Structure 1
Amino acid sequence: MYRAVLLMTLFLVALTTSTTIPKRDDPRLEKECRDLELVTVNRDPALTSLQAKCKSGNDEVTSRLNLNHCLHWRSSSNPSFRVRKDGDGLKDGDCIDCVLNNEAKLLCSCRGGSSYRDKPQKRFVEGINLNEAIKVKDGYLECHGIKGDKR
């Protein structure tokens, strides 16, 4: 009996010390903003931005933020986006036809960067939750201290 109680106590102590308390998220884009939309100029991945109308006190601000300021393209056997300042993620991944789902997850069709440019048939569909990269500050979209342009 004593061993069972001791083992159970050790197990519970190990469980509680290995569990981390999750960091409180910033307000989610889809709750703070409306009319979230991806804007790409001339189908150029370097010119892909997120535009939204976000709350600023009692007002709303429409701003546009180039996603290449927020994301990095990680080319590997499993290419993906990572959060990084001025990472040129969509440009380096040669990502086109991006869409945004209801939970602010960015999904793109990407060729995978320079090593795949000669293989246009090889596509990767990647995703990242933009809540990890972008926050709303005073109604403006922002990442890594870079503020979106007012529209």
Structure 2
Amino acid sequence: INADLVDCIVAMPTQLFYTTQIPVSLWFLAKNKKQKGKTLFIDARKLGTMVTRKLRELTDEDIKKIADTYNAFVDGTLEDEKGFCAVVTTQDIAKQDYILTPGRYVGIEEQEDDGEPFEEKMGRLISELSELFAKSHELETQIKERLGAIGYGL
């Protein structure tokens, strides 16, 4: 970092590879960076689509979004996007004890306020949860009865 070689770090989503489900990070290193003293962090963990139960693929749009973000950084026209990308100075990285996890710098994306007051929302959600619990007890009873009817009582 202090040698100013890290140009960009991209945190990729999980399940991109057949051999492992863990997430990976792409590090772009450059001896002669266009943006001296700055590093681009991209958090792409939410991109991609599951194509099987165990495999995720990036779409052409996902790849374009990452590439366009990097190109805008190189051109000096990139604006930080909360939850996705941030341009960080070497001094700010040093203040964070040189931790190079993109999520630390990009933050979390802003959630749109749905206009429902918190107390009302919690009351509604608790009510829905209570109904779901009641339904689950009914289903549990039905399952036990049917298993018992075929000789597999619990």
Structure of greater Rg: 2
Report the TM-score range of the alignment, normalised by the length of the smaller protein: under 0.3
The TM-score normalised by the length of structure 1 is 0.26
Of Structure 1 and Structure 2, the greater strand share is in 1
Of Structure 1 and Structure 2, the greater helix share is in 2
The TM-score normalised by the length of structure 2 is 0.26
